[in-house]
Amino acid sequence: MLSLVRSMWLIFLHMFHKRETFQYPEQKAPLPARWRGRIALTRDPDGGERCVGCYLCAAACPVDCISLQATEDDSGRRYPEFFRINFSRCIFCGFCEEACPTYAIQLLPDYEMAEYNRQNLVYEKKDLLIDSEGKYPGYNYYNIAGMAIRGKDKGDAHQEEPPVDVKSLIP
Amino acid sequence: MPIINIDNKTYEVKEGKNLLEACLSLGLNLPYFCWHPALGAVGACRQCAVKVFKDEDDKKGRIIMSCMEPVKDQQRVSIEDSDAKKFREQVIGWLMTNHPHDCAVCDEGGACHLQDMTVMTGHSYRDYHFTKRTYNNQYLGPFLNHEMNRCIQCYRCVRFYKDFAGGKDLDVFAAHNHVYFGRQQEGVLESEFSGNLAEVCPTGVFTDKTLKQHYTRKWDLTSAASVCQGCGLGCNIIAGERYGALRQITNRFNSAVNGYFLCDRGRYGYEFVNSPQRIKTPMVYHGPSELSNGIPVLQHIHRRMKPGKTIGIGSPRASLESNAVLKELVGEENFYLGVSAGDHDLVSLALKVLQQGPVRAASLQEAAAADVVLILGEDLTNTAPMLALSVRQAVRRIPVEEVINTVHVPAWQDAAIREAVQENKGPLYILNVQQTKLDELAKGAWHTAPDNIARIGFGVSHLLSDKMPEVTGMSEQGKAIAAEIAEALKHAKNPLIIAGYGSGSEAVIKSAANVAWALHDLGIDAMLAFTVPECNSMGLEMLGGHRLESAVDRALNNEADTVIILENDLYRRLNQHRAEHFFDKVQDVILLDHLYNPTAEKATIILPAGTFAESDGTLVNNEGRAQRFFQVFSSNTAVQESWRWLLQIAAANGHATLSSLKHLDEVVSHIAVTCPVFHGIDTLTPGAGFRIAGQKVPREPHRYSGRTAMQANIQVSEPKPPEDPDTALSFTMEGYRGEPPSSMIPFFWAPGWNSVQSVNKFQTETGGPLHDGDGGKRLIEPHPNGQTPFYTEVPEPYLPLTEHLLLVPLYHIYGSEELSVHTPGIAERIPAPYIMLHGEDAKRLQVANGHRLHFMDNGHHYTLPVIINNTLQQGAAGIPVGLPGVQIAEAPQLIKV
């Protein structure tokens, strides 16, 4: 009997608590920055595509919903010729983001992607690529990688010595 | 057999091996870099450290490099010892101090030995925080990409390129921690085996440049066991596909054939499969009044195949199945071999020698173990490149054996052996019409006309056996050469005689047979190797058919209305003018082929035939070894195997025996039953019903990616994957994950071993045969006690004629093969058409290098630029065979200048 009254009292008190329910869609929930929502391809600080087409995201994807083709432009930078995510298969596990060695693929706190037509959930590179560095501002993969591209020769990258002079005998 | 104790377990191992080989052969994981089963050990990388203990009481032990330590009985070894493990981790840590942060943009990634070994040692954290050394790269030609930053200084590349393959233009430069592996100057790598660097290099310094054009990771490739179509040797390859295009050819180990290596034509000549010139749909040419639109193409063919007036022309580059089905479809009396008269004479003679004589044909690996080699009229590097690589190994055999017996070092001690051998070479004799790349290794190399080569060959056989005809009127020099060669051959244990199609002369093949048979009579275990022009030349010749020339005659006599041409360009087989006559006479030309070619222009019906990548089939190589190749991918066009098209035609025509056949297994067993010479080809690979644990063998690795996105742009619902009714392989990643039968291994992979080095896990011992034997079956075995039908007709000596030149065929690894020239990389290396003259002849004809020479052949005029080469026989003129734009027959013939 006493426990019954106690329960009713507690529930009565809840009437004065802060509400946990959001009136979605009028009211949106505040999401943490690392929320695993929509997948985007980000850009370098200099505006170039971060994705180098290494295929690691595709390999990590447990539902195999990423496919791409790597290619190289005339400056020596690699980029995906096409990059496709089938969001009707995506489970938003974020493994692709973890696998990405260049911080290109990032999951954003945006989850409003519902469609009536399933075909519309197939996102190509033009749908995925955003004009932002996302969560890792300032990171530029080619400044760390050893490969030379136009504008960044051998020895110009982070912590690199100038190229070896093969003909030198100086120790 | 020594018994050794590894981590307190006893194992029986093979004597004469080193500890690393022993451990790997036992299936234990021990990291290594510089050791390679084909190259031996040098102890350069310090990666394969293990601990050895004096005896059971020794608890301290000492660290040694396992690749430098011979196996000893009762040896106590520890791989798992914590000191050894720490040592190995440290070594890889040091190797990584300068390794760039490149894996994402490195083509080796996912198939990288350095990645595998780093994970295996457990090195996972970089604690070196100083600067990295960098290098500038070099342009190395259309086949290889150079990225020197990734180098770990294991020296494998130069050991393969210089020491193993005899290349001159790749070396190691500079000193101490600045060593540089590359060329003295930027430029195209000259060796015909340069592509192997991509597999030999444990990291991404040398990578496949053609792969980079359409880059795909190893784990994303749909692969299948295949056989190279580049020449007649039948090297085993793995072909990989992605998004409907063939992406890469890698080596498929076969200890009897190609071992660990491939030539560049084989590795890079695959891109014709992706060519825009491909025939993708069936096409029927008909007049506007015929009202035949909308009728299935098979109906068209049925209408046009008139009984008794339909002939079939087979092809040496089509599978055995396709040729056999065509032969049965048109009837034996209407089946013609689609090879030129010259090729037919040479290959049928070679086949006769091997079938009827007592001497066996050498496989590539047997050739590499020969002690004396005699090459008659062949430029092996260009006609059968991998055989040239085998000859390079054979030349080392005698000096290496001497060193092993005198200096007492084991065979795998590569650096020590090379130091002791120095420039010593075993006996190799070459007789060819001009200089060859192998001449540098030869004890004797002479350049003369094919008839003179044959005469010297006959002379040698006469010196070996009195039963052979004597050569009359031989020059003093000829006699001296014959005597020198005969003397060397007499003391050999297993000499190898090489001849073939390169000389274009039957007499040369006959003389080679005579030499080998004479040696056999002396009780010497001689071997023969005949080169053949195309991947199934031998198989087609074994199948048998009429000469192509008689098909032309038949058409010219109005006795053939319809001709079915199987994967063949008759303009390459016939004189251009004769081919024109032929096509003018026949009413309907039904062509099954991959690429548009001059013959396709004449065809009234074209059927899209699958290349090796889209077909299952069998090829017979130059030693008579039948090998199966598997379909790599299923194209979503009308392309299908030629034999399947022909079976469908047979069904439409209501053919008595062929109508009931549908799948590969049925075709193969039908051939095995109806052609006794192909007995056993139905056992080459397990049939389509074969299952392991109830499952098929997958063509795709378990990490294959993008299944649900690859075609989502077309249709978001995934289509049903294609089924393979012909073989026990599946086109998906589902299936049995263990080791498949060796004849159908689609790719080499083992847990922890993603790179090609994983082949260790598939072998009975390192460098030894695959677990259940190497694929393929030899169909030709010699008659050990058969009558030796010696050849007695010695040709007349060659005498230069004024006014005339003797046209001799010259072959090129890049350019002489029909399909590989459609590959951009190969096309870049094709020489421009030329006519090669001796300096004296050039002087006589008043031409110099680059001048254009006009000449007449069979009443037709030709003009070609001149190249002067003084190693060429005087009075002869070399013509490159098969190059685009050169249309002159292959056999030696006289031309008027």
Q: How high is the ipTM of this complex?
A: 0.89
Is the pLDDT at B892 greater than 70? The verdict is no
Query: What pLDDT is stored for residue B328 in this prediction?
Result: 92
Number of separate domains in chain B: 5
| Main-chain dihedrals φ then ψ at residue B242, nearest 5 degrees | -155, 140
Cβ atoms of residues B522 and B503 within 8 Å: no
Q: What is the pLDDT of residue B408?
A: 87
CATH number at residue B464: 3.40.228.10
Q: Output the domain CATH number for residue B82.
A: 3.10.20.740
For B407-416, B430-439, B780-789, which range has the lowest pLDDT when averaged over its residues? B780-789
In this prediction, residue B482 carries a pLDDT of 93
**Cβ contact, residue pair A166, B178, below 8 Å:** yes
Residue B820 tokens, joined: 């590989």
Across chain B, mean pLDDT equals 90
Flag whether B829 is in a domain. yes
Instruction: Inspect the interface and report whether the beta carbons of B243 and A69 lie closer than 8 Å.
Output: yes
Q: Do β-strands B605-608 and B283-284 pair in parallel, antiparallel, or remain unpaired?
A: antiparallel
Q: How confident is the model at residue B291 (pLDDT cuts 50, 70, 90)?
A: low
Query: Is the confidence at residue B274, as pLDDT, over 90?
Result: yes
Same domain, B72 and B197: no
User: DSSP for B298-333?
Assistant: HHHHHHH--TTTEEEE--TTS-HHHHHHHHHHH-GG
Band the pLDDT of B83: cuts 50, 70, 90.
very high
Q: Count CA atoms closer than 13 A to A171's CA, side-chain side.
A: 0
Residue B596: what pLDDT?
92
The region of weakest confidence among A93-102, B149-158, B216-225, B282-291 is B282-291
Of B105, B220, B712, the CB nearest to A52: B105
* One domain, residues B507 and B643: no
Residue linked to tokens 């490099």: B65
* Cα–Cα distance, B85 to B122 (Å, whole number): 9
- B79 shares its domain with B120: no
**Residue (of B480, B506, B485) closest to B495 by Cα position:** B485
Residues B519 and B545 both lie in one domain: no
Are B505 and B357 found together in one domain?
yes
Tell me what pLDDT residue B294 has. 61
Task: Give the distance, in angstroms, between the CA of residue B218 and the centroid of all CA atoms in the same chain.
Answer: 22
Question: Could you tell me if B735 and B813 lie in one domain?
Answer: no
Q: Which residues contact B521 (CB under 8 A, 6 or more apart)?
A: B464, B465, B467, B788
d(CA B164, CA B418): 11
- Could you tell me the pLDDT band of residue B428, with boundaries at 50, 70 and 90? very high
What are the structure tokens assigned to B667, written together? Answer: 């075709």
Q: Largest Cα–Cα distance of chain A, in whole Å? A: 96
B771 lies in a domain? no
For B497-548, the pLDDT digits (tens) are 999 998 888 999 999 999 999 999 899 999 999 999 999 999 999 999 999 9
The set of long-range contacts for B25-28, using a CB threshold of 8 Å and a minimum separation of 24, is B25/B760, B25/B763, B25/B764, B25/B765, B25/B766, B25/B768, B27/B761, B28/B79
Q: Which two tokens stand for residue B129?
A: 């925080």
Q: Where are the beta strands (DSSP E) in B549-624?
A: 562-566, 588-593, 605-608, 617-620
- Domain C-terminal end among B187, B213, B239: B213
User: Does B524 lie in the same domain as B417?
Assistant: yes
Min Cα–Cα distance to chain B from A52, Å: 7
* Res. B783 pLDDT band, cuts 50 70 90: confident
For residue B591, being part of any structural domain is answered with: yes
DSSP A79: E
Domains of chain A listed by start with CATH number: 27-141 (3.30.70.3270)
In a domain, B601, yes or no: yes
Rounded to an integer, what distance in angstroms lies between the CA atom of residue B275 and that of residue B821? 11
CA distance A128 to chain B (A): 14
Cβ pair B123, B89 in contact under 8 A: yes
Decide if B490 is inside a domain.
yes
Token pair 């195949």 is found at B305
Measure the CA angle with vertex B179, ends B176 and B181; round to 5°: 165
> Which of B634, B425, B431, B433 lies closest to B515 in space, CA to CA?
B431
Q: Looking at the structure, tell me whether residues B572 and B701 fall in a common domain.
A: yes
What is the C-alpha to C-alpha distance for residues B254 and A131, in angstroms, rounded to an integer?
52
Q: Does residue B246 lie within any of the structural domains?
A: no
Residues from chain B that touch A145, judged by Cβ atoms under 8 A, are: 100-102, 104-105
Where residue B888 falls among pLDDT bands split at 50, 70, 90? low
A65 is in an annotated binding site: no
pTM, full prediction? 0.93
Among candidate residues B213, B228, B250, the one where a domain is terminated: B213
- Considering the domain boundaries, does residue B611 fall inside one? yes
Chain B residues whose CB is inside 8 A of the A63 CB are 708
Condensed to tens digits (0 to 9), the pLDDT of residues A123-132 reads 999 999 999 9
- Distance, CA of B751 to chain centre: 29
| Claim to verify: residue B291 and residue B389 sit in the same structural domain | no
Q: What is the CATH number of the domain that holds B844?
A: 2.40.40.20
Query: Is the domain of B578 the same as that of B683?
Result: yes
Owner of token pair 């310090």: B46
Mean pLDDT of B476-499: 93
CA distances from B456 to B371, B461, B474, B483 (A): 21, 9, 8, 9
Are B147 and A53 inside 8 Å of each other by CB? no
Angle at B482 between CA B477 and CA B484, to 5 degrees: 95
Boundary (domain end) residue, out of B213, B238, B264: B213
* Chain B nearest CA to A144, separation (Å): 6
Instruction: Count other C-beta atoms under 10 Å from residue B420's C-beta.
Output: 17
Per-residue confidence at A170, pLDDT binned at 50, 70, 90? confident
Cis peptide before B316 (omega within 30 of 0): no
User: Same domain, yes or no, for B43 and B173?
Assistant: no
Measured CA angle at B631 (ends B627, B637), to 5 deg = 145
Average pLDDT of the residues in B857-871: 83
Query: What mean pLDDT do residues A73-78 have?
Result: 92
Q: Please give the distance of CA B705 from its chain centroid, rounded to a whole number.
A: 31
pLDDT level of residue B754 (50, 70, 90 thresholds)? very high
- Residue at B865 is within a domain: yes
Q: Are residues B61 and B113 in the same domain?
A: no
- HSE, side-chain direction, 13 A CA sphere, residue A111: 15
* Residue-level length of chain B: 897
| Domain limits for position B166 | 103-213
